[in-house]
Structure 1
Amino acid sequence: MNARWGRDLGLGVKFAFTGGREGHIRVLLTAVGVGLGVALLLLTTAIPNALSVRHARDDARMDYTYGPPRAKAANTLVISDADTTYHGEDVRGRLVEPEGPKAPVAPGLTRYPAPGEMVVSPALKELLGSGDGALLRERLPYRIVGTIAENGLIGSRELTYYAGGKNLAAHLDGWKTARISAFGRPSASSNTLDPVLLLLILVVFVVLLMPVAVFIATAVRFGGERRDRRLAALRLVGSDSRMTRRIAAGEALAGSLVGLAFGTVFFLLGRQLAGSVEVVGISVFPSYLNPSPALAALVAVAVPAAAVLVTLFALRRVVIEPLGVVRTAKPTRRRLWWRLLLPVGGLAMLAPMIGQGRSNGDFNTYLVIGGVLLLLIGVTTLLPWVVEAVVARLGRGSLAWQLAVRRLQLSSGSAARMVNGIAVAVAGAIAMQMLFAGVQGDYTKNTGRDTTRAQMQVNLSRGADFGRAAGQFAATKGVRKATAIGSTELGDRDWRSGPTGTALVTVGSCAALREMARLPSCTDGDMFVATGGTNDADVAKIVRPGRTLHIDDVNGTGRGKDVTWTVPGGLRQATAITGPSGTRDSSVLLTPGAVPERMSRLLSATVYLSVDTSVPDAFEHARNTAARIDPLADAMEWSATQRSAQFSSIRTGTFAGAICVLALIGASLLVSQLEQLRERRKLLSALIAFGTRRRTLSLSVLWQTAIPIALGLLLASAVGLTLGVVLLEMVGSTVGVDWPSVLGLTGAGAAVVLTVTLLSLPPLLRLMRPDGLRTE
């Protein structure tokens, strides 16, 4: 039996390549359709490796220090965090100052730049050399002396630089500036995902890959009608029906094997292209995209096997006789019961996990994948029945409408296959959107910042002249108001031994202090103690006239000399209010005239900026001012909420994958549409020869596309909403439907189909000629 199967499949492969022009075109169309799907599958198998390499390279250049402070030595490097943001893109920056000949060299560098010089990533060099990078060039006043090699970057479009610094050791704080003797993460980091995030990842992979599988299954059936008519000739020379089906499967196998080759080429081209593009903030080097050998082998085996099985399944209702093919004389009605079993089975697999949330451990991986798969496969099995049931009841209308409806009544299966992929993609996207919208509140927290009072915060180095900085910011283009304060902490004991009670000290002008407390009259030189906020007990305990308190030296690390301050008499009472940052602190409030020199050198400076967002690049101008005042300044735009980094990365990755899938959908639909037009060439030519207007035929083709896609999108919406509700019940979130998103996703699916239809009109017009009836 195996020998018979091998002989018949081999005969089908031979016919595919020796069947003349028609056979070659069918193999080419199948290969292109399958190749696009294979390319995306190979890309998917390469994603785990790409993420692993990105994390490994990020860990390898880690420059934060842990443990006790290091002393200056021949193998130490002082490095400062100088990150910034430009037009919404992160720019990773480091100021470096080697302290000896054995200082560790950062990955991607051969030597460190001298003060006034910098080494940049290729993408940053390109940006700085363009007109779009003018404001950033002003912020980075260093001469470019080299580029960072690939092993020092996590992506091809990453913006990063290393610049030479001076006297960085004066800023050592273990946070922005550190002394290190090696790069790299000191210990393995814990990136354990909570169950809900893990569920998100599982659903995302299933939803993004399912349309790919559907398109591959559709592609191997290209040219099916013509193929079946050719196979009828085999019955005349003695082939039985089973042998004929196996030969047909061999033809599909040939197309899928060529498709594997095409897919490999498409993947290699896409892999090379990946190095020059950035999708939703993510970029990679081509070398990152190496598919797992085991997964690539699985794709190489699964695609041809699927081609054979799909072809045999498709021919189960086709009777190929020696004198022709019995397909449409009186098609049997499709049965509904077994089609409903798939989505019902999917719901049954997901049902045991309803209400589990994140408190009852991880969700069962196999049940999640199986349940979501069955529900999405249910779309592909239900859609042919829905299309058949609806078009059977359609009747009167214009000539174009009647031509379209009759064609759909005769071949509803082909019409449903063409839109299966888009329906599955939309159903999965709706479910994903509902799940993301339902759980995002759990991963989004309120920052407490009052964005009506300030829209930006700039943290300056310890000891900076924040009063002068406020004036420079106030004169910056786009800045309405600048409020500058200095702060530190007071302890009842030396910070080396650790205080038992602490109190915050806030220094600023009278106008600045009024942002933190309600004050009586105020002039420079006044001192207050604000109560009614947090830490009231400690303030009342240690802030007493005549008591000597110890000033925090370098964020409580106990490095440096013990600096003290004696609480003076005459502290006036004030009431703490909520500051721009969202905190209400009980503290000692001092105007600049009341601050001794020894304290002013230890103040951490913060400037709150009110920005006129109507001014172009207002935030960039503010960042440039911050860089001029202090190269180590940390300028941050404020937002009312902050989202979990893990949740954001999953959502970003999902959008990147969705873009790739939509591109595949569009390309595959176009190939499918062209294949169907080719199949109908003689029919279209005959109608033109009988005097049918081109406009009528064009409208009929449009209706043939519009009716199935409308039914497919309605079914996809129903299944997507059902799956979304079940997933929300599983994570314990409130069930709600974001109708604008649902309508937007449905509209996106319809837009893809409309675009493909418009692109297929030129070849349609070329086919609508009477000379298409010629034959040899």
Structure 2
Amino acid sequence: MSERSATSLATWARELALGARFAVTGGPGLTRTALTAFGVGLGVVVLLLAASVPTMLSAREDRGDDRNPDPVLETAIEDTPAAQTFQALSGSTEYHGEEIGGWVVQPHGGAATEAEPPPGLDAFPAPGEMAVSPALARLLESDEGALLAERLDHPVGDTIGDEGLQGPGDLYYYLGSDTLDGDTLDGEALDGDAIDGDASSAYVFGDMTMGSPSLPAPLILLIVVICVVLLMPIAVFVATAVRFGGERRDQRLAALRLVGADIDMTRRVAAGETLVGAVAGLLLGGAAFLLLRAWLGTVTVWGFSAFSHDIVPALPLAALILVGVPVAAVVVSLLALRGIAIEPLGVVRDATERRRRLVWRLVPGALGVVLLAPMLGGSFDGGSTGGQVQAAVGVVLLLVAATVLLPWVVERVVARLRGGPVSWQLATRRLQLSSGAAARTVSGITVAVAGATALYMLFMGVSDEETEATGQDPDRAQIEISESTEGGMTAVELSGELEGLPGVAEALAWETTSALPTDARPVDGITPSAQVLMGDCSVLRELARIERCADGDVFVPPGEGDPWELAVEPGQQLILGVDSEGVPYGEAPVPWTLPEDALVVEPRTDPGGYVNVGVLATPGALDEEHMAGGWTRAMVRTEGDDPDTLEHVRNVAWGEHRDAWVFELESQRVSDELADVQRALLIGATGVMAVITASMIVSMLEQLRERRRLLSALVAFGTRRRTLSASLLWQTAVPVVLGLGLAAIVGTGLGALLMSMVDLPIGGWLAFLPMAAVGAGMIATVTLVSLPLLWHLMRPDGLRTE
């Protein structure tokens, strides 16, 4: 290294150290450092949490794969000893909207099994005993979980450890059994050394890897935009935080010029001061992240929970934050000094600012449109990493365009504001003198609202695509039950149990089985079969348009010529209770002749959305033996809106068997993938909006602190508190309103581009209205929080100086 280079490095080090000393030796410098550290720390917390998402999701997915029983046949394991496997039956249910996962397990070999126990347990639970997660144990013991405890009425033995759960709020259990069917494989007892043939009743833990299904392009684009929209405001806020206290710092730099420092030295000193604040923010944010990480392990947000040890930033992202935040802080600080002339006798900022230029501020937006334009018309390739990066960069540039345009808009608008009350004039004059600071304060909310507007438009479009009409009619019935008649209840028994429940107004139940003609022959490999339903007249009127009905009547609603459907006619001979190959469900086939006087009626869509064709019979026309091997269905009409009604119904259907389905009827159903994306959006948006509100509060408090002498002077001249409080409101409201207007324009334009990229109908032009309401709430919050400090500063003794 040359002597000149060594001298240059020594000079840089000495002057950076001088700036660092100013930052920590007390007075205004220390206050500015504290504010910067607090602001940067808030941003770092969010960035570290975002960097932890890949690790957290990966850990959850791995544990979810490990705990799912894996059929031996699908793992391609040959010559697996039977004693190393177990039987499993899903025991999942739902309770007050929460998924309760569970399995009924029975190891082959009983107590001497060699099978690997479920993850998080040292052994399989004993027959009739449950092993539960800690969250499920708490729920079962609470008053809130009383109905669930009635359903899962088994003694609780062991507790599932963390390695068997996806999160601390996971509701999961294993129930031991010794009565599961399927003790043979291909007719041979499971007492040999190996499994040959159909292993549908032989499972192992730890081998299943459930590949994530490929998402549609609209959902991929939605996820990309969510990541950008949630993180962009944080980056803007960090850039704003490093400029806290800029006016006081520039005055100190002017004092340095007075004692002989040149312009380059003052900039290096400023960089050193900023660097200390950024590094302190990193440390503060890291410490806050560790505390928040421990707390997040105890809460469930929107149905999602994570263990503290899973919330670990991915190493590359953590390194990027560690290096990028201080570097970005120094760069932003130096760029801010480029437009300021710091002289020995003052700072040129005190004079009239040069008018901002518009041309270069349009460049980011133009580049963003150029990147997104090739993808318009549905050309976005969701499976291409390059396409995802291109879309993300395009969105970032358009949001940056909103940020760089905002100072120009604020400057042009406030320069034309005249007259009005005293509070309005105080606010507008302050904005005219320092429009840049006002724009920086609201830049975060501008980016957030612009992104959220575009996201909302895209989300609504994707929702329409990912939402399907079910055909169900929740006005006619609200709950449906479907269960096997084998080991279950008959229609009469089920309706009787249901109608005695609290909140149930009526329960209509019927039984169904299949029938073949006596001369059944396959047609093109398909053996047509007919559906036979048995229920009383009130039930049959829900399934067909029937005018007159009495017990013993039979009706025939014809189908639409489907090759799978047998076209039945009055007088036809049928065999009931058999499958499509003629194998009886019961002990023997049951012949039955369709009465000659059976009426042909028009089928009617039932509340569950099914069109029931074939044969409709009242109980007087059929015996229970005719309905062997079928299903019992019930439609439940409720009264009131008690959520416990659904749980009472589930408890009735649960019983000792697991071959029952209970679900609420709904006219539309959203895909599970979109529901997961929506949950992630709600979690992320809640955190980001909280950080943005905190950043605006910090920015406003910092501005009030710098203007305390001016406020004291105004009070000394007799200005009322009410006037100054209203002035503070106007100072916050005017830039926010301008920012929201700009955000609405940029956001709706971006939303239209994104919808075109995935070939969605463009709409939702009023999507900015909910975001505007959020902005109004933030204005009120910032003003209310700032008032106590404003009143504290409005004292004449604030004019005292040393």
Asked if these proteins are the same fold (TM beyond 0.5), I'd say: yes
Cα deviations by residue, 1:647-694 (Å, 9 ceiling, x for unpaired)? 221122112111110111122222222211111122212222232222
Determine if contact 1:63/1:180 at 8 Å carries over to the other structure.
no
**Shift in CA distance, 55/593, structure 1 to aligned 2, threshold 3 Å:** farther
Name the CA distance, whole Å, in 2 between partners of 1:471 and 1:738: 52
Q: CA deviation at 1:524?
A: 4.5
Letter in 2 for 1:297: A
Alignment partner, residue 392 of structure 1? 415
Name the CA distance, whole Å, in 2 between partners of 1:247 and 1:152: 54
Report the secondary structure of 2:83's partner residue.
coil
How many residues align? The count is 769
Do structure 1's residue 55 and structure 2's residue 77 form an aligned pair?
A: no
Moved more, 149-158 or 118-127: 118-127
2:496 pairs, out of 471, 475, 482, with: 471
Determine if contact 2:368/2:396 at 8 Å carries over to the other structure.
yes
Q: CA deviation at 1:125?
A: 2.1
Determine if contact 2:577/2:585 at 8 Å carries over to the other structure.
no
Report the secondary structure of 1:168's partner residue.
coil
1:406 pairs, out of 393, 411, 429, with: 429
2:349 pairs, out of 327, 337, 341, with: 327
Report the secondary structure of 1:428's partner residue.
helix
Q: CA deviation at 1:325?
A: 1.2
Alignment partner, residue 231 of structure 1? 253
1:645 pairs, out of 654, 672, 686, with: 672
Alignment partner, residue 107 of structure 1? 119
Report the secondary structure of 1:551's partner residue.
coil
Determine if contact 1:8/1:243 at 8 Å carries over to the other structure.
no
Structure 1: stretches of 5+ with no match in the other structure: none
1:31 pairs, out of 37, 59, 73, with: 37
Cα deviations by residue, 1:425-462 (Å, 9 ceiling, x for unpaired)? 01100000001112211111111112222111122244
Q: CA deviation at 1:561?
A: 7.7
Name the CA distance, whole Å, in 2 between partners of 1:331 and 1:39: 35
Report the secondary structure of 1:132's partner residue.
coil
Cα deviations by residue, 1:345-390 (Å, 9 ceiling, x for unpaired)? 2112211111025689758223211211111111111111111111
Q: CA deviation at 1:506?
A: 2.2
Determine if contact 2:83/2:115 at 8 Å carries over to the other structure.
yes
Name the CA distance, whole Å, in 1 between partners of 2:609 and 2:402: 49
Determine if contact 2:470/2:666 at 8 Å carries over to the other structure.
yes
Letter in 2 for 1:30: T
Name the CA distance, whole Å, in 1 between partners of 2:115 and 2:569: 45
Do structure 1's residue 771 and structure 2's residue 793 form an aligned pair?
A: no
Report the secondary structure of 1:688's partner residue.
helix
Report the secondary structure of 2:131's partner residue.
strand
Report the secondary structure of 2:738's partner residue.
helix
Letter in 2 for 1:138: E
Letter in 1 for 2:772: T
Alignment partner, residue 619 of structure 1? 646
Alignment partner, residue 201 of structure 1? 223
Alignment partner, residue 252 of structure 1? 274
Name the CA distance, whole Å, in 2 between partners of 1:557 and 1:82: 31
2:179 pairs, out of 167, 178, 182, with: 167
Report the secondary structure of 1:531's partner residue.
coil
Cα deviations by residue, 1:530-581 (Å, 9 ceiling, x for unpaired)? 313463774128998445567139xx99898884232425262433322222
Give aligned-pair identity as a percent.
Answer: 45
Moved more, 382-391 or 344-353: 344-353
Name the CA distance, whole Å, in 2 between partners of 1:636 and 1:43: 36
Name the CA distance, whole Å, in 2 between partners of 1:199 and 1:361: 10
Alignment partner, residue 14 of structure 1? 20
Letter in 2 for 1:92: G
Q: CA deviation at 1:293?
A: 0.6
Do structure 1's residue 299 and structure 2's residue 308 form an aligned pair?
A: no
Letter in 2 for 1:228: D
Alignment partner, residue 367 of structure 1? 390
Name the CA distance, whole Å, in 2 between partners of 1:116 and 1:507: 36
Do structure 1's residue 46 and structure 2's residue 52 form an aligned pair?
A: yes
Do structure 1's residue 91 and structure 2's residue 100 form an aligned pair?
A: yes
Do structure 1's residue 633 and structure 2's residue 668 form an aligned pair?
A: no
Determine if contact 2:577/2:584 at 8 Å carries over to the other structure.
no
Name the CA distance, whole Å, in 2 between partners of 1:723 and 1:558: 61
Name the CA distance, whole Å, in 2 between partners of 1:361 and 1:418: 38
Do structure 1's residue 585 and structure 2's residue 645 form an aligned pair?
A: no
**Shift in CA distance, 68/41, structure 1 to aligned 2, threshold 3 Å:** closer
**Shift in CA distance, 677/54, structure 1 to aligned 2, threshold 3 Å:** same
Alignment partner, residue 380 of structure 1? 403
Cα deviations by residue, 1:583-613 (Å, 9 ceiling, x for unpaired)? 2233233444555555544122222111123
**Shift in CA distance, 172/669, structure 1 to aligned 2, threshold 3 Å:** farther
Alignment partner, residue 514 of structure 1? 541
Moved more, 155-164 or 428-437: 155-164
Q: CA deviation at 1:171?
A: 12
Tell me the C-alpha RMSD between the 2 structures: 3.1
Name the CA distance, whole Å, in 2 between partners of 1:716 and 1:557: 67
**Shift in CA distance, 139/549, structure 1 to aligned 2, threshold 3 Å:** closer
Name the CA distance, whole Å, in 2 between partners of 1:581 and 1:132: 30
Name the CA distance, whole Å, in 1 between partners of 2:128 and 2:583: 32
Alignment partner, residue 135 of structure 1? 147
Letter in 2 for 1:610: R
Determine if contact 1:387/1:711 at 8 Å carries over to the other structure.
yes
Q: CA deviation at 1:178?
A: 6.8
Alignment partner, residue 195 of structure 2? none
1:728 pairs, out of 755, 762, 770, with: 755
Structure 2: stretches of 5+ with no match in the other structure: 186-198
Q: CA deviation at 1:99?
A: 3.9
Letter in 2 for 1:31: A
2:236 pairs, out of 214, 221, 226, with: 214
Q: CA deviation at 1:193?
A: 1.7
Q: CA deviation at 1:500?
A: 2.8
Do structure 1's residue 535 and structure 2's residue 565 form an aligned pair?
A: no
Letter in 2 for 1:49: T
Q: CA deviation at 1:717?
A: 0.9
Letter in 1 for 2:431: L
**Shift in CA distance, 236/117, structure 1 to aligned 2, threshold 3 Å:** same
Determine if contact 1:400/1:700 at 8 Å carries over to the other structure.
yes
Give the TM-score normalised by structure 1.
Answer: 0.92
Determine if contact 1:8/1:246 at 8 Å carries over to the other structure.
no
Alignment partner, residue 190 of structure 2? none
Moved more, 153-162 or 570-579: 570-579
Do structure 1's residue 81 and structure 2's residue 86 form an aligned pair?
A: no
Determine if contact 1:527/1:594 at 8 Å carries over to the other structure.
yes
Name the CA distance, whole Å, in 1 between partners of 2:41 and 2:249: 20
1:279 pairs, out of 281, 286, 301, with: 301
Cα deviations by residue, 1:175-232 (Å, 9 ceiling, x for unpaired)? xx97332135645424212222111111111111100000000000111111110111
Name the CA distance, whole Å, in 2 between partners of 1:17 and 1:163: 62
Name the CA distance, whole Å, in 1 between partners of 2:38 and 2:58: 31
**Shift in CA distance, 18/656, structure 1 to aligned 2, threshold 3 Å:** closer
Do structure 1's residue 609 and structure 2's residue 636 form an aligned pair?
A: yes
